[in-house]
Amino acid sequence: MFEKTKALCNSFLEMGVPGFDLIVYKDGQCILRQMGGYSDIEKQTPICGKEKFHIFSCSKPITVTAAMQLWEKGLFRLEDKLADYMPEFQCMTVKTDAGIVPAAEPIRIHHLFEMTAGFSYNLGSPQLKELQKHTGGVCRTRDVARYLAKEPLLFHPGDQYLYSLCHDVLAALVEVVSGQLFADYVQEHIFDPLGMTNSHFLLPAERLGEVSTLYAFDPVQKKAVMQNMHSYRLGTEHASGGAGCVSTVEDYIKFAEALRTGEQLLKRSTIRLMTTDRLTPYQKRTYAPADTCGYGLGMRAPAAGLPRRDYGWGGAAGAYLAIDEPNGISLYYAQHMLSSPNQGLRGTIYTTILEELGISVAHTVTDNSLTY
């Protein structure tokens, strides 16, 4: 069974992906586990299913879940001004064609979830370089937000969708509201309760050798080349809410199933809120997958009149989450290759699974962005 899905994943190897690992659950039972290729090309080490991968932006659903746990406790409102909790965001400016001007609206907490706050994803900005210099490369999560607040926004808060460092700021907000370091909060309130023993936001330097080799696709040589750095982590103590998690496939599917079934991490009503499309038609002009899905509180979401029934997100090295509550499906796919030629094809895993289960598929789904 699932021969088409298996063939699809194997075709990724032919495109240059070193290795992959896929797990699919239906109604709480694992119905498919497929893996292939190598975790280390040079050593010819086959994928075994226990690999720890940098999941990059698949960190984001974890971060928004952590924040929504605090929302459930009444510790903040989505409509609250960010500056009420993080004063450095009190007087924001915006870079315009006419120069730097005061922001017309304050950043509100829901803007962080929705990627509408006005931040960029420029990890090499002058202020963030200053942060690395002043902290000697430590770059604590809370300090990243402080330095980011010194930079002009790219647009007035709420004006448009722009994939950015919003969820890194959200991780800092978790620290402020909870009184815990972000990595510690997630460990205590998400990883430990779910038994995610191989997931970390701040893996100690002495344990980085546990992480599988990270590759990038070289379009000139048309092959995988080894990467020596995780460019989304600014420093040794930067628990990046947007891209900093290390996890395994077996761990991450526990998180996916917890969202699908509800009540373990969040109330069902909260998950419904998170997975309801929130972008306005104007904001969707800058949201690449707007023709197939909406965007909720930190992840793609079903939207009226559009074909996708699932919610989830993806990661820059190929990780991909899809949760389809109506059909009882959760799936997680992982690989470890940046700029991969199959990055836009990951959504076809979900539609192929539906097809092989005999569930109607509106049309083939592709990802229009290679950044997550």
What is residue 207's predicted lDDT score, i.e. its pLDDT? 82
Helix axes 141-148, 166-178, angle to 10 degrees: 120
Cβ atoms < 10 Å from Cβ of 369: 14
The per-residue pLDDT of the chain, averaged, comes to 94
What is residue 372's predicted lDDT score, i.e. its pLDDT? 64
Strand 215-218 to 337-338 pairing = parallel
Give residues with Cβ within 8 angstroms of 318, minimum separation 6: 17, 20, 333, 334, 335, 336, 337, 340, 342, 343, 346
pLDDT in tens, 293-314: 999 999 999 999 988 899 999 9
What is residue 363's predicted lDDT score, i.e. its pLDDT? 47
Strand partners, 329: 26, 324
Distance CA 197, CA 187 (A): 9
Helix axes 347-356, 3-14, angle to 10 degrees: 160
pLDDT in tens, 280-294: 999 999 999 999 999
Distance CA 283, CA 155 (A): 12
Where exactly are the structural domains of the chain?
3-52+182-356, 67-178
Given a contact cutoff of 8 angstroms between Cβ atoms, the answer to whether 319 and 55 are in contact is yes
Where the chain has pLDDT below 70, the residues are: 229-231, 361-372
CATH topology of domain 3-52+182-356: Beta-lactamase (3.40.710)
Distance CA 84, CA 87 (A): 6
Give residues with Cβ within 8 angstroms of 136, minimum separation 6: none
Q: Which of 349, 258, 356, 263 is nearest to 62 (CA)?
A: 258
Distance CA 123, CA 14 (A): 32
What is residue 309's predicted lDDT score, i.e. its pLDDT? 92
Which tokens is 126 given? 């002058």
Q: Which of 167, 210, 322 is nearest to 255 (CA)?
A: 322
